[in-house]
Structure 1
């Protein structure tokens, strides 16, 4: 049975950068990629220095190609099934039928976006419906934009979107009542407001053209910004990791979760979601994970030579 220092679950920016750092740290690494990236619908990645505008698939291809320089890093196109505690770490069952042992587990699986039950929403997600204005706002600047909000606490987010176009309209989909103060603020800022439920989103070839309201009115829009509900992957649920009040995996400063030996990075841990942030978190978690493994190995060697437990485990005199 193959044994690794670290098994990484997820082949997006977070997992790939973690593999790079661990590979350079001389760790035996297995990166498992199920091939279903969260940004699969996106045509381009933005805001990533030296890679601005690159298609996500091309980013992954280049990153994988660069990992080939490290023979201690293995990449498999497979899912991760069960994970069980095992002596010195974990035993991981893979979707290809094999089982591997690992000392540590690093999760970079992203979140699952739950598409809203509005005709046209799923089809337009990616080409015309975006979550992050920093990722996609520049390309659609000064166009007629919509902001689909289903929770009142995010109503002020419309002013953020207006930064990219003065022609901005909020759609509440009838999900909540807009207060008089909120209505006054939107009107003062020149932001449109539509409170009816949305009957359908109309577009052609993936490009939004109009938002049809419950009474049949059509509001011409070119782009919609929307943050749909998200849920954790089944793997995270099975592992029983502690979540915060928003449903993200609780992590410490360097990605450690509530289960010792398991770290998590990227979108699954934060609302601040983006390729560059995930890659950065992957690097930090990987470096600190490597440091921990190095110290663990050093303690083992010390005990083998001296017959004494490491200083951290010695009882005070």
Structure 2
């Protein structure tokens, strides 16, 4: 970040696939852009990115390094910092306070802050997250195919996850844990896909030689497995942005609140004029390639919004 742009056309908050692709798009549109990168990319613990044509299997860190080098070619600036406060200063200007002591201003904001995975409170789950504790079969299913997979039920979603993961393995076990009691229909569906059901609460995970080996039940039983599937609560990351007045909406799955997101239209415009959003902060189930595409769409919407404002200003001169 430099003093060359006391007022940026756009500040992009967040530097995952959505934020960096938005910055690339805006840089190529000849806009002055600053990316505020807190270094909290959601997929950082994962070994690789999948289902991204042309980047299949790339490590998240390598993907970010490539993306950062690409945006720099178009004059995009980047600062490693977090936003601690944000507010509208005038009708056409926002101010941001960063945790490095800097204040930056922009005509428009684009939020790509992602979400926070709130994991089940079982010892070992957080430590193994994105390694052998997983949630998305499209992200990891191929890599763990034919392995013994446990699904930790904490809600009705557990049944659906078990059915889904049975596409990748014939050794799927639903660990009833704290999920709701299974009715006859649920048991019939699970049986049709050869999913085993184990009643009882999981108290911890057993790790042997750095690898997940089993789920340990409260009654002393042991369920051997090499992968555990969980259903996190997906919460929009909006820390420090309260001053913008964003509309944060509950996300429901199977009749219960399973997360939250910032409401935005298909072009990324939020309910706050001048504030756009893209990626997992607006769509909790979005993958890396989808987030990158959303970043492009939101950047295009933001650029068009600036053009409309610039045109109106020019007409009044």
Q: Same fold (TM over 0.5)?
A: yes
Confirm whether residue 106 of structure 1 aligns to residue 107 of structure 2.
no
Note the 1:1-317 alignment, pairs <5 A. Answer: 2-71=6-75, 73-87=76-90, 88-204=92-208, 206-233=210-237, 234-246=239-251, 247-304=260-317
**Distance (Å, rounded) in 2 between the aligned partners of 1:113 and 1:235:** 18
In the TM superposition, residue 109 of structure 1 has moved relative to its aligned partner by: 0.8
Q: 1:300 to 1:206 in 2, by over 3 A?
A: farther
In the TM superposition, residue 62 of structure 1 has moved relative to its aligned partner by: 0.5
**Distance (Å, rounded) in 1 between the aligned partners of 2:198 and 2:148:** 14
In the TM superposition, residue 174 of structure 1 has moved relative to its aligned partner by: 2.6
> Alignment partner of 1:17: what SS?
helix
In the TM superposition, residue 236 of structure 1 has moved relative to its aligned partner by: 4.5
**Distance (Å, rounded) in 2 between the aligned partners of 1:181 and 1:114:** 29
Give structure 2 stretches of 5+ with no counterpart. Answer: 252-259
How many matched pairs?
A: 303
Asked if the contact 1:128/1:206 (under 8 Å) is kept, the reply is no
**Distance (Å, rounded) in 2 between the aligned partners of 1:243 and 1:31:** 22
> Alignment partner of 1:39: what SS?
coil
**Distance (Å, rounded) in 2 between the aligned partners of 1:93 and 1:237:** 12
Q: 1:262 to 1:193 in 2, by over 3 A?
A: same
Asked if the contact 1:169/1:194 (under 8 Å) is kept, the reply is yes
Q: Which has the larger Rg?
A: 1
Scaled by the length of structure 1, the TM-score of the pair is 0.91
**1:312 maps to what in 2?**
none
**2:255 maps to what in 1?**
none
Q: 1:236 to 1:158 in 2, by over 3 A?
A: farther
Give structure 1 stretches of 5+ with no counterpart. Answer: 305-317
RMSD of aligned residue pairs (Cα, Å): 1.5
In the TM superposition, residue 205 of structure 1 has moved relative to its aligned partner by: 5.1
**Distance (Å, rounded) in 2 between the aligned partners of 1:155 and 1:237:** 36
Q: 1:153 to 1:120 in 2, by over 3 A?
A: closer
**2:254 maps to what in 1?**
none
**1:315 maps to what in 2?**
none
Q: 1:84 to 1:271 in 2, by over 3 A?
A: closer
> Alignment partner of 2:170: what SS?
coil
**Distance (Å, rounded) in 1 between the aligned partners of 2:207 and 2:81:** 35
In the TM superposition, residue 154 of structure 1 has moved relative to its aligned partner by: 4.8
Q: Deviations over 1:9-36 (max 9, x none)?
A: 1010000000000000011000010112
In the TM superposition, residue 244 of structure 1 has moved relative to its aligned partner by: 2.4
**Distance (Å, rounded) in 1 between the aligned partners of 2:122 and 2:200:** 13
